[in-house]
Chains A and B, each alone.
Chain A
C-alpha cells in the first residue's frame, strides 16, 4: 500500500517536472515561430522585449492573464468554460506516454501509440464544443469545418502508422524506437517513406496549420471557432494548438526518425557521438519538425475547404492502404 503511494508520488513529481519543461518549450516555440517567419519575410521578428526579444513569450503570457475575461451573454455558460479545458487536457495527456530518452517517461504502456492517437482524437471535442457554445455563426461554421477536417485526417494518420507497427511488431513507443536500430540507417523513414509523407501531411491537418488552416484563417472566417474567446481562455486554445504540434512532431520523431537514437552507421563512423545524451538528439529531431511547420506557414497559401477534404479522403487514405498492403507483402516474403 505504501509502496503504491510512493510510486504515485514519484510519478506525480516526474509528471510535474516533465510538464513544466514541456510548457517552457511550448512557450518558446511561439517565439521561435515569430523569429522564423520574420526572417522568411525579410524582417527581424520580436526584438524589443529582452535581448533579441527573448522575453516575448513571457510578456505575452502576462498580457493574456491580465486581460479582461469577456463572456458573451448568449453563450452556453458551462460548455463555453469547459471547451478550452478539454482541448488542453487532451493535448497534455498524450505526452504522458511519450518517451524522450531511454527510460525517461511518465508511464510506459504497451499500447502507447494507440493511446496517443485516441486521446488526440478526443481533442476535437474541445473544438466542436467551443464553436457550438459560442452561439455565433462564424464560430459555428469554423468549429464544424475544423472538426470535420480533423476527423478526416485522423483516418489517414492512423493508417500511415500501421506500416510502422507492422515493421516494429509492437505498439509500445520505447520498443518502436529500439526496433529501428536493426537497420543500418536506424530509421523507419527509409522503408516507410510513403507512410512518412502521409503522416506529415496529416500532421498539418490535425493541428489546423497552413496549408490546412482554413477554419481559423483570419481572412476567411475571422479566426473561426475561438473568435469569441479572449484572455486566458484564448491562451489555453493557443497553448493546446502548439502542444498538439509538439505531440505530432514527437510522434513523427519516434516512429520514423529513431527517437533519441543515432543511426548505427553514423555511430560506427564517429563513436564520440554516443557521448551526447539521447535527449539532445530527440529535441533536435522534434525541432526540425517544428521548423517544418513554420517554414511551410511562411511559404504556402491555404487550401480551400473542399480541396482539403478531397486530399484527405481521396488521396491520402488510398495511399495509406496501399502502403499497408505493400509493407505486409514485403514483410511476409522476407
Chain B
C-alpha cells in the first residue's frame, strides 16, 4: 500500500515497507514497518509478540521447580544464564546459601553460555552485513561448547541444569580437561574472526557512526549489557550486585566510546576473551564439596509449601492498619538480576507461602532493546536497519516471553 504525502513544493510519496515476521535477517519473528522516503527511514514501528507464550501466567500455576524449564526457553541461545538468574532470585527469596563448588560451576557455565550466545551474535551479525565466512567459523567453535554442555547436562541448547540451591549434577575431570584445553586455544580462534572483519574497510564503513546512542540516551532508554557499555557507561550486574562466584574471579568489563555499532562489536569481542579468562580461573579455583544446598531439598517436592521466616521482613508502617504487617509478611517479594549476554535479566518474584509463585515477572533485556529500535533506525538508511538489529542482539524468545 502506498500513501501519498503532500510536501510543500514537490509531490513525493512515502513508501511503507514491511519487513515481515518472516525475514532472513530479523533473527526470529519480528515485524518492522518502515516508512521510507527514498533510502531514508522516516518512521520505524516494531511489532513484537509473535512468540508470546505466556510464561509469566504459566508460572503462577507451577511449582517453583517446574518453572525452571520455562525460563530456559526465553533466551534459548544462552539458556544456562536464564536458569541461573531464576535460581539466584529464588535463593534470595528463600535465603538459601549455595555451596561453594556449585557457585564456581555456575559461574563457569554462565560464561560458557555467554561465549555461545556471542558466537551466534557475531555469526548472524556478520552474515547480515555480508561476511559469510565468519558464520561458519563461529558455528564450528560453538559445536565444541554444545558438545561440552551435552556431556554434563544431557542437552545441547535448552539445558535445565542449575537448581534452586546449586546445580543438578557434578562435573567430572574429563569435562574440565576438555574445557580447559579448548579455552586455552579459544582466544586464537577469536583472532581468526577479527582478522576477517576487524580492520576491513567495508566493515568499518558499514558499522562506524551507524546507530549512535549517547550515554545519557542509553541510560534513559533502559539499555543494558554490551549495548549500553558500547556508549561508555560502566554498568555490569556482575560487578555492581555480584552473585555466584563473580566477586572471587578477576575480570574486566570492556567499555566503548562512541556508542556506534562498531564499539558494541568491539565490546562483545573483548568479552569473549574476558569470559575465557573467567572460565580458566574457575577451573583452577574449583573447590571440593556438595553441589546442592541442604535446605533446597525441601522445595523439590511439588507440594512443598515455601516458608519464609517472619523475622527476616522488616516493616515500617506510616498508616494505621494492623493488617498490613500480616499482609507484607505473607507476601514477601524480591528482585534479583543477572548479567545475561544480552543485558540485565531481572526476576521479580512475589511469594504467597504456597508451593507456587504468586507473581513471577521476567525483565528481559531484548524487550527493552527492541523498544529502542525506532530511535536507532530513524534517520538512517534501510541497509542500516539490518546492522542495528544485529547490534542490539535481539532474541525474540526473550523479547516476547
Contact = CB atoms under 8 A, between A and B. Distances in A.
* A and B form one complex: yes
Given A300-B202, A301-B197, A219 B25 contact: yes
B66 interface: no
B130 A210 contact: yes
B203 interface: yes
Q: How large is the interface on B (under 10, 10 to 19, 20 to 34, 35 or more residues)?
A: 20 to 34
A304 B24 contact: no
A306 B381 contact: yes
Contacts of A37: 132
Contacts of B135: 41
B67 to A, nearest CB: 36
A138 B206 CA distance: 21
Interface in A190-242: 210-211, 213-214, 217-220, 222
Nearest to B385: A220
Contacts of A222: 23-24
A313 to B, nearest CB: 16
A264 interface: no
A305 interface: yes
Interface residues of A, number: 28
Most buried by A among B17, B18, B382, B384: B382
A138 B200 CA distance: 29
B119 to A, nearest CB: 15
B97 to A, nearest CB: 46
A40 B17 CA distance: 35
Contacts of A210: 130
A298 B133 contact: yes
Interface in B5-24: 15, 17-18, 23-24
Contacts of A303: 202, 205-206
**Contact residues of B: prevailing secondary structure:** helix
Interface string A278-301: 000000000000000000011111
B24 A219 contact: yes
Contacts of A2: none
A203 B202 CA distance: 17
Contacts of B384: 304
Nearest to A303: B202
B130 A302 contact: yes
A73 interface: no
Interface string B131-161: 1110111001000000000000000000000
A275 interface: no
Nearest to B135: A41
22 contacts: A37-B132, A42-B136, A42-B137, A43-B136, A137-B18, A141-B17, A210-B130, A217-B130, A219-B24, A219-B127, A219-B128, A220-B128, A220-B382, A298-B133, A300-B200, A301-B126, A302-B130, A303-B202, A304-B384, A305-B383, A306-B39, A307-B206
Interface of A: 37, 40-43, 137-138, 141, 210-211, 213-214, 217-220, 222, 297-307
List of 5 A-B pairs having minimum Cβ-Cβ separation, nearest first: A302-B130, A219-B25, A301-B130, A41-B136, A301-B131
Interface of B: 15, 17-18, 23-25, 39, 126-133, 135-137, 140, 196-197, 200, 202-203, 205-206, 381-384, 386
